[in-house]
Structure 1
């Protein structure tokens, strides 16, 4: 898929820079050419010699190189690539991009380009969660910059949480999706999937029956059509797809926060089975039996993610697609839900036990729109996802 593609790889300064060496190898294995740019800080973690040896070409480092700049080399570098990848993308680099700064070769390339840019962030968990970093991320996403990761896990500093750079093969998959010549190329779509778990105490929770299979299939189909997909998933039974930005959550409130953080997007597909209620005061220790006395649980209504996004006054996606899992009067209930929530489409299905759809490999859906309903034949969830992706591509032009 990457044969003949030209990748400009900017290597920022962070311990994750060592992964950039493997990333170069993986990209070249797939036929891409890689032109490396090493920041001054990046050069503290990997050497120009090792980068050059793997890339098979010169490493660019200095904005004021007389030889390279005799013909405005930074302009040529920034515009001759099919895609610019920044890995690792540090908090400093992202801040420069968001603020339009250009005080070194990397930041100047990023400001002088009209080529698509994909960032693979890597930083300390607190740096990632800092309000300034999150503001910069929102600005960059609004500017059309793509993201892959970061992942959560243990860090070199000894802390744990989101901030680990995506693995090289994850970045390669994101590069392939970004460069895919599909009908959704250049479109950004958020997909929710799986159930949410609302804690009762540390060992018990409220949830809906959902494997996450349909949402995962939809994310795969959209990415295969060239879209940049942000996949927000609850604790699902199936593994999330490769080549998409995966955000793992537990509760409905966390899912809403993740969706809002992903905005702006061109479309939202809300396939998650979100629990309608949560316990207002979840126990901090396991609730014990007390001589047959039943515990008293107070409930509160969870945020309505679909309605929240559908009814946004500013920043609403062009297309909002909801799901309705019903056990009776499927079309009538789904039609009423579409009107009540304010979304554009509802994908309705009958999940009564006799259908075997909940947790199964097949689905039978009806697409509810403002001008009517389309009943689709029973087919695999992958086929449903593919057909839905095609309809989304048509709707987004």
Structure 2
């Protein structure tokens, strides 16, 4: 159990902090909410006290014998400021200590994460950007805001990320430290595939696989948090889109092939890839349409700096697709299903990649009489021609649909990086550490 300080700034997005608080406490953490006085105009102290089981105060004069303005920060394992308004970022960057929250920020020895929320003009203002740069230079994590509906009719960057995303990143920082969210992918364009393709047999049935898309989602969420522009080509994944990520929904291997080719090359926007980018059905319509405001959705795409093929793509598809449901009995009952081979999407991406593009493949392997998991993976690395291959041991049903993973990252130069078992966001961060190091060394 970690000791978490949840700072709440005075913006309308403060209502989401109650949902974040519940997610953190349900994970077993002890959370002390420290709001600003303005935050309590949006969400009352009673709500935070009831959900956290801890007292709520805003002033350094409250509970003087405890010396709360010092002790709260000293005892914390993580300080998470959600939402961080433009005013709060400015006061934190200036080192102000004029309320309990800013005093706590000055006494904290643990990782500090700011989750900004404000109108687009305020986020883009040079003063705010300077304050963000100052806080990052001092070692704090300042997440990029989501893009979407703001207060009133406005849309754009400045929306508070959803509580589930923030909670996942908070767990990542607790397990791996603030370095897991270093902004080392800023300015990089990343295209990731996730999920598992489905090949129709008739209007009802399909050939598919067990990939949940959770690892691809974690890769996208962490890449966005580290500053990348992220496009996520999602094959049959029923999850809300990670914040700051444009999602292109696909179903079959051929649809995924076309989407990955266009997005990785930058030749065309996702609208021409056969499916519209969209959020999951769990989002509100205003949030779904807001994805079109992301920078790459208006034909401004450029070739990706990094392409990650985390999706499980079907090797084969039925040679023919029945126009009506295949039924048991009678002359129409099939005695067998003829399969044809799908194109190798990863090999095509490697062959067509522009100069300087880093291609990362995934391999779900099991050992057999001919070799162990890494033996098969090294052969696949050479055969595919990728720069890096992330290897999963999926023996006995491991990995698929689970919240934890354990991988080895093989490189074309023969090196190998073992990533120990952990939450998939932590595994994603370790993978991006390897990728970011190699991208930084590109000429």
Same fold by TM-score greater than 0.5: yes
Aligned in 2, Cα 1:141/1:38: closer, same or farther, shift over 3 Å?
A: same
Equivalent residue in structure 1 for 2:91, among 91, 96, 102:
96
Distance 1:135 1:144 in 2: 14
Equivalent residue in structure 2 for 1:52, among 43, 46, 49:
49
Number of corresponding residues: 291
Aligned in 2, Cα 1:392/1:230: closer, same or farther, shift over 3 Å?
A: closer
**Equivalent position of 2:266 in the other structure:** 275
Deviation at 1:157, TM superposition (A): 2.9
Distance 2:49 2:137 in 1: 34
**Equivalent position of 1:42 in the other structure:** 39
1:332-368 Cα shifts (integer Å, max 9, x gaps): x98xx8xx74x9x76589xxxxxxxxxxxx9864455
Equivalent residue in structure 2 for 1:111, among 97, 106, 115:
106
**Equivalent position of 1:387 in the other structure:** 408
Aligned in 2, Cα 1:16/1:394: closer, same or farther, shift over 3 Å?
A: closer
Distance 1:45 1:375 in 2: 48
1:184–1:393 Cα contact (<8 Å) kept: no
1:85-126 Cα shifts (integer Å, max 9, x gaps): 111110001111222222222112112222111122111222
1:52-75 Cα shifts (integer Å, max 9, x gaps): 12211111211233x43x453222
Aligned in 2, Cα 1:303/1:28: closer, same or farther, shift over 3 Å?
A: closer
TM-score using structure 2 length:
0.52
2:361–2:389 Cα contact (<8 Å) kept: no
1:9–1:86 Cα contact (<8 Å) kept: yes
2:393–2:407 Cα contact (<8 Å) kept: no
Distance 1:48 1:88 in 2: 16
Aligned in 2, Cα 1:243/1:85: closer, same or farther, shift over 3 Å?
A: farther
The answer to whether structure 1 residue 86 and structure 2 residue 81 are counterparts is: yes
SS at match of 2:4: strand
2:23–2:164 Cα contact (<8 Å) kept: yes
Aligned in 2, Cα 1:58/1:162: closer, same or farther, shift over 3 Å?
A: same
1:187–1:227 Cα contact (<8 Å) kept: no
Distance 1:39 1:141 in 2: 22
**Unpaired segments ≥5 residues, structure 1:** 196-212, 251-271, 279-300, 307-320, 350-361, 369-373
SS at match of 1:153: strand
SS at match of 1:115: coil
Distance 1:22 1:165 in 2: 12
Distance 2:178 2:139 in 1: 17
Distance 2:82 2:173 in 1: 15
Deviation at 1:391, TM superposition (A): 6.9
Deviation at 1:181, TM superposition (A): 4.2
Aligned in 2, Cα 1:119/1:326: closer, same or farther, shift over 3 Å?
A: same
**Equivalent position of 2:122 in the other structure:** 127
**Equivalent position of 1:145 in the other structure:** 140
Aligned in 2, Cα 1:94/1:31: closer, same or farther, shift over 3 Å?
A: same
Distance 1:175 1:187 in 2: 14
